[in-house]
Amino acid sequence: MLKKKKIAIIGGGKMGSIIAQGLISRKIIAGKDLTVTDVDAERRKWLGSELGLQTSGDNSATAKNADIVIMAVKPQNMAQTLQEIAPAIDKSKIVISLAAGITTGFVEGYLAKGVRVVRVMPNTPALVSAGATAVAKGTSATNADIQLARAIFDAVGITVQVEEKLMDAVTGLSGSGPAYCFVIIEALSDAGVQMGLPRELSLQLAAQTMLGSAMLCLEGSNHPAQLKDMVTSPAGTTVAGLQALEEGKIRATLLSAVEAATKRSKELAGGK
C-alpha cells in the first residue's frame, strides 16, 4: 500500500523519529522514500545515519516532494508550520496531524480547500512496536486515506478508527496513558525496595507484572475485574493490598488524571 509513496515527516523529535524508525525497521517503506525534517543539523545527521533515511531542514520543499505529509510538531508550533508548508500542499497529498488537541478543521483552515487531512493520536510505546494509535477523518479524507494512515501506524502497534469528537478522550487515555503506567511501575518498584528487594530486581518484577497483566487483558476473554478476582483469595495477601489501593482512591485518581488530560487537549485546540 505504501511501497510507491513518498512520505515526509515534518519534525524529527521524539514521535517523528519513533514513526520513522518503525516504518524503516518493518520495511514498510524504503529509506530513500522517507524524509524527516528538523531545524537542528546535528539531529538531522543522527537521524540519517542511525535510521538510514533522508533528512532536510526545509519543511516546504520536503512537503512538496511527498505524497503523505506527517505533521509531527508540537501543538503550539502547528500554525506557524502549516503557514510555511501550505503553498506546497495540494489536493493530491494527504496530511496527517499528530498534534494533541489540534482538530482537522484547524489544519484544513491553513490549507487549500479539498486537501485531505487525517488526525492521529499515537503514544510512545510505538518505540517498541507496542503503540496504541487512534485515527479520525477530516472533511475531505476518504476511507482509502484512513487505510493509508492505519498502514503507517500499524507498523508501530495497533491502530483504531474513531470519530474525531472522541480524540480528546483518546489523548487523555492512551496518549497520556503511558506516563500513568510509568508512575505505577515506579511506585511498585519503590515499594519493593522498601520491602527489601534490590532496586534492579524490583523494577524488573514491577514492569513485567504490568506487561503480563496487560497481555492477559488483551489476549483473553475475561474482564479485568474477573482477572483481578482470579488473583484474590479470601483473607489473602492480594485482598489486603487491594484494600489499601481503594483506601488511597486509586480509581478516582486515575479517572481524574484522564479527565484532566482530556480537558487540556481541548484547551490546546483553543490555543491556550
pLDDT digits (tens, 9 = 90+) for 38-57: 999 999 999 999 999 999 99
Same domain? For 25 and 83 the reply is yes
| Statement to judge: residues 183 and 127 lie in one domain | no
pLDDT in the model for residue 272: 60
Could you tell me if 26 and 138 lie in one domain?
A: yes
Q: Is the same domain home to 51 and 102?
A: yes
Residues 186 and 260 occupy one common structural domain:
yes
Q: Are residues 148 and 216 in the same domain?
A: no
Looking at the structure, do residues 12 and 96 belong to the same domain, yes or no?
Answer: yes
147 and 212 both lie in a single domain = no
Which cell numbers in the block locate residue 139?
472533511
What residues make up the domain containing 106?
7-167
pLDDT score, position 4: 84
Count Cβ atoms within 10 A of the Cβ of residue 121 and give its class: 0-12 exposed, 13-18 middle, 19 or more buried: buried
CA distance 175 to 243: 29
pLDDT of residue 271: 62
Residues in the chain where the model's pLDDT stays below 70: 271-272
pLDDT at position 180, please?
A: 98
Residue that is last in its domain, among 141, 167, 193 = 167
- Give Cα 18 to chain centroid, integer Å: 9
What is the pLDDT, as a whole number, of residue 2?
80
Say whether both 66 and 90 belong to one domain.
Answer: yes
Amino acid at 272: K
Looking at the structure, do residues 182 and 50 belong to the same domain, yes or no?
no
pTM, two decimal places: 0.91
